[in-house]
Structure 1
């Protein structure tokens, strides 16, 4: 039986940040906007491949290198270095999904410790949270750059647990990515899948403990940290 979590750990890219403006960054340099999704998926693929091989590459370095390959056959309106710089700068100027600020504040009010764990850099989180006024709600911003491996490797979640001074079973991961949910579950964490798009969860991954349409619903679903069940268990997931 898993203990009640005291720490909620958030994925950042796409889970908290709204990455839809990245398409406009591609269009700005003369590339088709849909390439943004291909670029991000390829970035994750290669990051995972490096992790599987025992390496730990930097998100920004991998992203820029892949971007050069994707843009190589495109009739750009500026030189390659300028185009890559413009697109990559977009990752640092993203905003939050509308449901995030209220959801974060509600969870903090409910008594949870809040941290992030991203495959990117902590600077992205700083730029996201500070303008929205929620940076003080987070105890720590963690990145796999300081861990042995990228998520979804177990070592990434173990790093977060060690940094927070709790065992993995006292953490709840929140993410939009099923691969992140699966990795966290295998590492012993509770999980909450944010399904903003109404998609279907892949059957080949471990199912999340909670499925929610937005982050704002999480605090009401799991209840206050200090008043959860006497046996130290979360309430059952909603049907």
Structure 2
């Protein structure tokens, strides 16, 4: 079906729930994580749509500072670091390692592509034991276009030296699946929460409950 499996990182591979503890530690409600992460994606995608670019960490930092100020909390460097460093302490969803192991053993090349930075996930992947499965880890700093801009996916295909139609993106975000499909890739929706896929987006080529289900589907 594909030569290269392209992976989204945040939420698709990593379980971000532990970041709620970090928000609570700096005095913000645990649910603040949702608004902050959504705002970071919103502003990054808005800048991309306008033909501009911002680094994920810097944008996330500024939005976190604004959130702290709005809550009447001094946005100290220590508080900012407490939250942002939480990305390096995330765990993977339990289905990721066995699923990727099976994909890797089947000879499918595996590459990550994130709107964040490659460095943010290095410790997480190493600790979880999936680093040997990954041929390459990419972020959008080179094309300077956040996903779902087509240039981000085409950049990954160029690095891998494959036509876009021989690459499939796995993600939990429908907007990411839609962007990949419009760029010519196949799209694999990881639907852990049994969430209906929006009809406004191009439909995925596969809908699976987790990476073990994806591995079974693409290695038959």
TMscore range, shorter length: over 0.9
Q: Deviations over 1:69-97 (max 9, x none)?
A: 11112244x65322111111111211101
Q: Deviations over 1:175-215 (max 9, x none)?
A: 00000000000000011100111111111011111111111
Match of 1:123 in 2: 119
Counterpart CA distance in 2 for 1:79 and 1:47 is 21
Instruction: Find the partner of 2:12 among 5, 10, 15.
Output: 15
Q: Is the 8 A contact 1:31 1:75 kept in 2?
A: no
Counterpart CA distance in 1 for 2:79 and 2:7 is 31
Counterpart CA distance in 2 for 1:221 and 1:122 is 28
Q: Is the 8 A contact 2:189 2:204 kept in 1?
A: yes
**Are positions 1:35 and 2:32 aligned together?**
yes
Higher relative helix content: 2
SS in 2 for 1:191: strand
* Residues 1:79 and 1:44: Cα distance change in structure 2 (over 3 Å): closer
Counterpart CA distance in 1 for 2:52 and 2:132 is 33
| Count of residue pairs the alignment pairs up | 220
**Are positions 1:196 and 2:196 aligned together?**
no
Match of 2:46 in 1: 49
Counterpart CA distance in 2 for 1:59 and 1:192 is 24
Q: Is the 8 A contact 1:50 1:56 kept in 2?
A: yes
SS in 2 for 1:91: helix
Which runs of structure 1 show a deviation greater than 4 angstroms over 4 or more consecutive aligned residues? none
Gaps of 5+ in 1: 225-239
**Which structure would you say has the larger Rg?**
1
Give the TM-score normalised by structure 1. Answer: 0.89
**Are positions 1:165 and 2:161 aligned together?**
yes
Instruction: Find the partner of 1:134 among 126, 130, 133.
Output: 130
Counterpart CA distance in 2 for 1:84 and 1:148 is 24
